[in-house]
């Protein structure tokens, strides 16, 4: 069930699983996703963790704003966690969410027990970024057309999985067509023009146990960059999930769980 939390910045949509007094995990989705992208993983961990996934600003049913800087969106992580009474936790971030997870961990190291970075490094393949950008700008004549086109775009997913995801990431406009529930101004922030070394320095400053997860078929993260991530982190390791592209947790939920859950149980439980 969708829930909402109010912060000084505005209202954020979130999902929660597990007992309130269980060890907490906070999950950050990627660009053009929502908290619902974590459903399978969160449900599997809900028996032993308090799992919270929140929809970041500019996405889904969370607030829209003029400011989508990295610093502001990292501040949202702090605000939401604090508003929900979560002090120290395991942190999992995918793609855009991984950027914010890395920056948050660097700024507030004492609050993060363990870090999981999903299919991200400061150096990503341009063709993968272009593909995501082209999808985000597309509008669909109907919801069913969207389902079929997204199935073609990512054949790893089942139709039921895609239908469920799109029910949270698409909305119908006044013209009857369907578009994404994401503010495209996020991609215009100045951070997207900065040198990769800015984020590499933040990666190197992280000392907590960290796991990099790469989709074996990822069109964004190359193996070489993933291996560098594991080396640069103070206590890093790398896992590669077969049968998955960039959206690892959704493409192969079982494979993702098989590598992420043991790591979290060892370091964030």
Residue 128 is predicted with a pLDDT of 67
Question: Which domains are assigned to the chain?
Answer: 3-125+183-267 (3.40.50.1820)
- What confidence score (pLDDT) does residue 127 get? 74
pLDDT at site 135: 75
Strands of the sheet with 3-6, listed across from one edge: 3-6, 11-17, 50-54, 24-28, 89-94, 112-118, 209-215, 235-241
**Residue 191: per-residue pLDDT:** 85
**Angle 190-195-199 from CA coordinates, rounded to 5°:** 90
Cα–Cα distance, 219 to 245 (Å, whole number):
7
Q: State residue 125's pLDDT score.
A: 75
- Secondary structure of 113-179 in HEC code, one letter for each residue: EEEEEECCCCCCCHHHHHHHHHHHCCCECCHHHHHHHHHHHCCCCCHHHHHHHHHHHEEECCCCCEE
pLDDT of residue 189: 83
Per-residue pLDDT of the chain (269 residues; tens, 9 = 90+): 789 999 999 999 999 999 999 999 999 999 999 999 999 999 999 999 999 999 999 999 999 999 999 999 999 999 999 999 999 999 999 999 999 999 999 999 999 999 999 999 998 877 767 677 677 878 999 999 999 999 888 888 889 989 999 999 999 999 999 999 999 899 888 888 889 999 999 999 999 999 999 999 999 999 999 999 999 999 999 999 999 999 999 999 999 999 999 999 999 99
């Amino acid at each position: 069930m969708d829930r909402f939390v109010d912060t000084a910045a505005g209202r954020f949509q979130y999902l929660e699983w597990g007992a309130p007094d269980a060890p907490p995990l906070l999950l950050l989705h990627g660009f053009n996703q929502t908290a619902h992208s974590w459903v399978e993983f969160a449900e599997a961990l809900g028996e032993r963790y308090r799992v919270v996934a929140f929809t970041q600003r500019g996405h889904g049913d969370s607030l829209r704003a003029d400011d989508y800087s990295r610093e502001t969106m990292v501040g949202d992580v702090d605000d939401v966690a604090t508003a929900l009474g979560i002090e120290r936790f395991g942190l999992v971030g995918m793609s855009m969410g991984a950027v914010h997870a890395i920056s948050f961990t660097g700024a507030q190291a004492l609050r993060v027990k363990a870090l999981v970075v999903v299919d991200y490094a400061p150096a990503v393949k341009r063709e993968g970024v272009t593909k995501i950008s082209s999808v985000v700008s597309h509008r669909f004549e109907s919801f069913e057309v969207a389902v079929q086109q997204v199935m073609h775009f990512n054949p790893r997913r089942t139709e039921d999985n895609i239908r469920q995801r799109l029910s949270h990431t698409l909305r119908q406009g006044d013209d009857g067509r369907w578009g994404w529930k994401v503010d495209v101004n996020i991609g215009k922030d100045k951070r997207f023009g900065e040198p990769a070394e800015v984020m590499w320095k933040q990666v190197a400053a992280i000392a907590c146990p960290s796991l990099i997860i790469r989709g074996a078929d990822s069109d964004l993260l190359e193996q070489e960059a993933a291996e560098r991530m594991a080396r640069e982190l103070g206590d890093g390791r790398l896992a590669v999930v077969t049968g998955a592209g960039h959206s690892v947790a959704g493409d192969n939920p079982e494979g993702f769980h098989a590598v992420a859950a043991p790591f979290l149980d060892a370091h964030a439980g």
